[in-house]
Amino acid sequence: MINSIIIAPKINAERVKKYLDSGKRFDGRDKDEFRDIEIETGVSVKAEGSARARIGKTEVIVGVKMDVGTPYADSQDAGNLSVMAELLPLSSPRFELGPPRFEAVELGRLVDRSIRESKFINLKGLCIKEGEKVWNIFLDVYTINDDGNLLDTAILAAIAALKEAKIPVYNEETEKVQYGEWTNKKLPLSKEIPMPITVHKIGNNFIVDPTREEEDLSEVRVAIAMHDGTIHSMQKGNSDPLTTEQFSEVLDLAEAAEKKILKKVEKYLK
């Protein structure tokens, strides 16, 4: 079956773990080091904002579209954010057409919470008329190539797309958004950018930014979004347990990794 081709052969699994035990990874990186990161904006001129992020060979694009709608009952004076993610079949032999499966749903929700919980978007700044009209932001995530760590790649692309986005023209009389026409106004964003640091446990070791081969061996995944040592969202994945000591190790590694990733993305996300 196809699975036998794509799932890392057991022989490699042993070698990956052995290497990690001696402090090495196949591509020579440190455990808290990301692959090369590239971010570019302007993937689609039709979008309010869009971006492509690459971490190594993993690539994700994110587009922002906006419209005007009514606020939620519990946030009458704030705009809405909705995030959707799709694992496109073009990006991996593992992804198939059809309704979203758990992996896609979780990816969307984790991107959503990293943006929302860090208050990166000031949603209150997107209220047009309290209780009646607010901006909706649709942030849509599409995978282009999966070589591991789609989540962190998606969050970086989302941040870049939001930073690039311009608010479209809204016609008060017709009560319609004039798509294709933009104001000069950018989205109300915070300077405190959430950094995605997803930590994986392989054997006795913890690493960030796994390649596909490494991620296939991941026993535990802890998805973290943090800014300057402060954690805004976290979700443990997979069913192996962690001792509290191991959990502390995850946090320490994340803090070290945040300092390193900042150096790589600074020039793109100024």
Q: Which residues bind other proteins (CB under 8 A)?
A: 73, 102, 105-106, 108-109, 113, 117-118, 222, 229-244, 247-248, 251-252, 254-255
Hey, what are 19's tokens?
Answer: 């290497």
Q: Smaller CB distance to other proteins: residue 14 or 228?
A: 228
Q: Which of 133, 150, 31 is nearest to 88 (CA)?
A: 150
Q: Smaller CB distance to other proteins: residue 1 or 11?
A: 1
Q: Smaller CB distance to other proteins: residue 139 or 234?
A: 234
Shortest Cβ 74–other proteins spacing (Å)? 8
Q: How far is CA 12 from the centre of its chain?
A: 28
Q: Which of 204, 235, 236 is nearest to 220 (CA)?
A: 236
Q: Smaller CB distance to other proteins: residue 39 or 78?
A: 78
Q: Which of 35, 57, 61 is nearest to 49 (CA)?
A: 61
C-alpha dist (Å) from residue 263 to 32, 33, 55, 120: 13, 11, 14, 20
Q: Smaller CB distance to other proteins: residue 21 or 192?
A: 192
Shortest Cβ 230–other proteins spacing (Å)? 6
CB-CB neighbours of 41 under 10 Å: 18
Shortest Cβ 82–other proteins spacing (Å)? 10
Shortest Cβ 25–other proteins spacing (Å)? 24
Q: How far is CA 251 from the centre of its chain?
A: 19
Shortest Cβ 251–other proteins spacing (Å)? 4
